[in-house]
A and B are shown apart, each in its own frame.
Chain A
Amino acid sequence: MGQLPILVVGGGISGITAAVEAAEVGAEVILIEKEPSLGGRVAQLRYYFPKLCPPTCGLEINFRRIKSNPRIKVYTMAEVMEISGEPGNYKVKVKIRPRYVNDNCTACGECEKVCEGERVSDFDFGLRKTKAIYLPYPMAFPMKYVLDKDALAPGDLERIMAACKYNAIDPDMKEEIKEFEVGAIIWATGWKPYDATKLDNLGYGKFTNVITNMQMERLASPWGPTGGKILRPSDNTPPKKVAFVQCAGSRDENHLPYCSYICCLASLKHSLYLAEQDPEAEALIFYIDIRTPGRYEKFLRRAQEEARITFIKGKVAKIEEDPETKDLIVTAEDTLSGKKINERVNMVVLALGMQPSIAGMEIPGLKVDENGFVFYEEGIIGCGCAKMPLDVMTSNETATGAALKAIQIIKRG
């Protein structure tokens, strides 16, 4: 095409889709991702919507498309610092953090075996630790280890370097600032779970067995901290009765004023996870309104049939812990009976809302609304959950749309 490339910011499902779609019709694409691997939130899930596929299903084929396409350049551990210019001609300053592992890495894993230092795994939302040198997840892209220098134990570096047969460890790597000239920008930075500790009446961070919906995904994931067994954190026993707290942070002017779209569906899905592992396990879903938009109404019926779910119309606003058993007593008013319910459960899952990943950040040249979602602008096109809370399917549709918009802009030049 001979035009300037398209910059795709964010290597989750939306960014990957946009990058592949644009590159496969001939555009040059630069794909940057903040984390050490592509994959984003989808990689952290057990199953994703609409068809409850495991993440390997959607990511693997896309990683292959990226690998085989010379027009896509991928930078991981990279973040946009500043955008200037106008549609058709942007200058974007990008900071690339050092990985301390070069392209020689074959992910053989010898380094990990000798490493003693540990770090809390943010990929697993703190549910386990990894070594200081670690593979982001089993099907990471690029398939390379990452070194967290701050987590190294004394002597680790020497041991790791000695263990690596490929000279892949490079402790002298420096942070780099790159400037890209691009014609259009697709903004696909996705979402982060809302900070659950801000919901001070729900006990997250105080009570071990109050977890978030994304932690539930990690517990159910075969590459998760429990190898896919849903076990409650306090004693690693399978919970018999789990309460799901809907609208934890969402639809709340004190927190996130919007509906996060996916949380009701996620809790229904989690009820299916429970049923899959123990058909007797009970799920209590405390809701304001069960929102299963569009064709997802069918999913609600499916969950009702396949899992043991009790729906209680009333928001949980109080959670207490039994210090002996670490069980939790959740309180809500059942608005249909007009009486309060105090239900003892083994574990509580907060159906935490989605917040744009860039909420609270200020990136010069990028326009966001009061909640941190990107505004549509000619030349900088938001897609996926950076634009609004969405499911995977719709994220991908917005990504394809964004790719077309971006192509139009670079074609015009």
Chain B
Amino acid sequence: MAIKVDPNLNVIKEIQEVGGDTLKKCYQCATCATVCPLSSDEAPFPRKQMILAQWGFKDKLLNDPAVWLCHQCGDCSKYCPRGANPGDVMAALRLLVIKEAVPFKFLHTFYNRPLGLIVLPLIALFFIFLGMIATFQGMPNLFDANSFPYGGPHYDIWIFHLPARVLMIDVVFLPLAAFVVIILFSAINRMWNAYVETYKIPQAYRYGMWTILKTYFIPAISEILSHSRFVKCNANNWRANPHKFLLYSFIILALTTAIVFVMADILGFHTPWNPLTHPVKWLGNIGGILLLYGIIDIMVGRSQAEAEKSLRTSYPDSFLIYLILFLGLTGFGIEIIRSIPGLKNITSLVYLAHLVIVFMLFLGVVYSKFAHLAFRTTAVVFDLYFKDVVQKMSK
């Protein structure tokens, strides 16, 4: 059998630049795949992905769910006889996959290079200001909380009664959310079909989307909620807990946002609500505290792991960590500052900063490391599906 080997040097360089600089040290002993507590007998990783990466075989990596099944425990890197840090290389591969899986690749660059620290806020501000000018009918005073966000005209659209700030958020974030959802959906769809081909699932077992969701999605979600894979990590077992807190906090905050959307935007019970007496605020605050706790725990853990050399934090990792930290800080910032009379007028700026960060994070669901939310979930679903098919076939 002839195999055409066509190494892609650009891809190799790219992987090396986003945290995979050690990949060439690998000599394929496969220690990593054996010590990895998450790698399966049927499709072990990361040894295979290491050689694919060494050759720059982008397409094969894109079509391989194993890249996502890795949780970067670091057991492989700890036992690697060559210091090739497979765990870190896998993280870099995920960034490569994210970039290749979605359109408008240039946006990906901004999440992985310091340049993005300037460009991303500018992009966010551009859309936010656009929405602001349209809904406030001109630029509001950003040094006066009564002008922004609590000023501006009110709109009566059909049955909805919306203040300017609510309409502004809707016109900016609803299209953004739609953009993110459409892109993710098409990427996941393409990914899934590629996985099915890569793992040579026989036609008889290729189920429709509904069957897949029904059979494997629920178990996948319950697995993700309990972090049952993540807790198997040995070398960096501290990571599962803070990550779980962070996940729960995002779920709580998403729920809070949804409730606020329904109550305010649709039913017309408009904010701000009293943080001490309003149950939705309680929910939001619990989410916020969990978020801050989780992210700070991750930061502390990472700096310790870094000192012990069991895990490396690359730029894209830090970027997401700080984004989440500032999300929490600005979120609480608004709540606190607007209730302090002397500081009330800087609420506008904190509010604006919070919106910018939320915008960046929303977009980051597609372009940053945050995309693991969708892609790892897809891979976990596929993994459960694949294992089930293997079992059915062996009967």
Chain B, interface size category, equals 20 to 34
Checking B31, B34, B44 against A338 with a beta-carbon cut-off of 8 angstroms, the contacting residue is: B44
A277 contacts the other chain (CB 8 A): no
**Across the interface, do A253 and B34 meet the contact criterion of CB distance under 8 Å?**
no
Which residues of chain B have C-beta atoms less than 8 A from A335's C-beta? 28, 30, 47
Measured between beta carbons, the chain B residues less than 8 angstroms from A68 are: none
Q: What A residues does B35 contact at CB under 8 A? A: 201, 317-318
Distance (whole angstroms) from the CB of A332 to the closest CB of chain B = 6
| Mask of B35-53 contacts with A, CB within 8 angstroms, 1/0 | 1000111111001100000
> Nearest chain B CB to A65's CB is how many angstroms away?
42
* Smallest CB gap from B42: residue in A: A339
B34 near A317 with CB under 8 A, answer yes
The reply to whether A247 and B29 form a contact with Cβ atoms under 8 Å apart is: yes
Interchain nearest-CB distance for B263 vs A (Å): 52
- The answer, yes or no, to whether B33 is at the interface (CB within 8 Å) is yes
A379 to B: closest C-beta gap in Å: 36
Q: Give min CB distance, B212 to chain A, whole Å.
A: 25
A412, B149: Cα distance in complex, Å: 95
A253's contact among B30, B47, B83, by CB below 8 Å, is which?
Answer: B83
Tell me if B82 is interfacial: C-beta within 8 Å of chain A.
yes
Most central of B40, B79, B82 by chain A CB within 10 Å: B79
Which residues on the A side are within 8 Å of B27 (C-beta)?
251, 288
B81 at the interface (CB under 8 A from A): yes
User: Nearest residue in A to B28 (C-beta to C-beta)?
Assistant: A335
Give the docked Cα–Cα distance between A317 and B17 (Å).
30
Contact B30 A314 (CB under 8 A): yes
State the majority secondary structure of interface residues on A.
loop
Checking B28, B40, B41, B79 against A288 with a beta-carbon cut-off of 8 angstroms, the contacting residue is B28
List the B side residues contacting A253 at CB < 8 Å: 81-83
> How would residues 66 to 79 of chain B score, 1 for a CB under 8 Å from any chain A CB and 0 otherwise?
00000000000001
Interface residues of B in 1-45 (CB under 8 A from A): 27-35, 39-44
Given contacts A338-B44, A339-B42, are A332 and B79 in contact (CB under 8 A)? no
A340 CB contacts on chain B under 8 angstroms: 33-34, 39-42, 44
Q: A315 at interface (Cβ–Cβ under 8 A)? A: yes
Please state if B48 and A247 are interface contacts (CB–CB under 8 Å).
Answer: no
Chain A residues lying within 8 Å of B29, measured Cβ to Cβ, are 247, 251, 288, 314-315
- A252 interface hit (Cβ, 8 Å): yes
* A318→B76 CA distance, assembly (Å): 12
Q: In the docked arrangement, what's the CA distance between A317 and B31, Å?
A: 5
Please pick, from B47, B79, B81, B82, the residue contacting A333 in the complex, using a CB distance under 8 A: B47
B-chain residues with CB within 8 Å of residue A254 when the two chains form the complex: 79, 81
Q: Across the interface, which residues of B come within 8 angstroms of A338, CB to CB?
A: 43-44, 48
Q: Does A342 sit at the interface, judged by CB under 8 A?
A: yes
A317 to B32, CA, bound (A): 8
Q: Does A394 lie at the interface of the complex (its beta carbon under 8 Å from any beta carbon of B)?
A: no
A331 an interface residue at 8 Å Cβ cutoff?
yes
Q: Is A381 in contact with chain B by the CB < 8 A criterion? A: no
CA distance A201 to B83 in the complex (A): 17
Closest approach, in angstroms, between the C-beta of A66 and any C-beta of chain B?
A: 41
- Report the bound CA distance from A78 to B43 in whole Å: 56
CB of A266 closer than 8 Å to a CB of B:
no
- A331-352 interface with B by 8 A CB criterion: 331-333, 335, 338-340, 342
Q: Within 8 Å of chain B (Cβ to Cβ): is A409? A: no
Across the interface, which residues of B come within 8 angstroms of A247, CB to CB? 29, 81
Chain B CB within 10 Å, residue with most, of A201, A247, A315, A318? A315
**Which residues 168-221 of B sit at the A interface, judged by CB distance below 8 A?**
none
Minimum distance in angstroms from B87 CB to a CB of chain A = 15
Closest CB in chain B relative to A30 CB, distance in Å = 41
Contact status A342-B41, CB under 8 Å: yes
**B48 CB contacts on chain A under 8 angstroms:** 338
List 15 A-B pairs, Cβ < 8 Å: A201-B35, A251-B81, A253-B82, A314-B34, A315-B81, A316-B34, A317-B34, A332-B34, A333-B30, A333-B44, A338-B43, A338-B44, A339-B44, A340-B40, A340-B41
Which residues of A are interface residues toward B (Cβ below 8 A)? 201, 247, 251-255, 288, 314-318, 331-333, 335, 338-340, 342
Give me the interface of B with A, judged by CB distance under 8 Å.
27-35, 39-44, 47-48, 79, 81-83
Q: A251-B29, A315-B34, A317-B34 are in contact. List 16 more A-B contacts (CB 8 A).
A: A201-B79, A251-B27, A251-B81, A288-B27, A316-B34, A317-B32, A317-B35, A318-B34, A318-B35, A331-B34, A332-B30, A333-B33, A339-B42, A339-B44, A340-B34, A340-B42
Top-8 shortest CB links A-B:
A252-B81, A317-B34, A333-B30, A333-B33, A340-B41, A315-B29, A314-B30, A317-B31
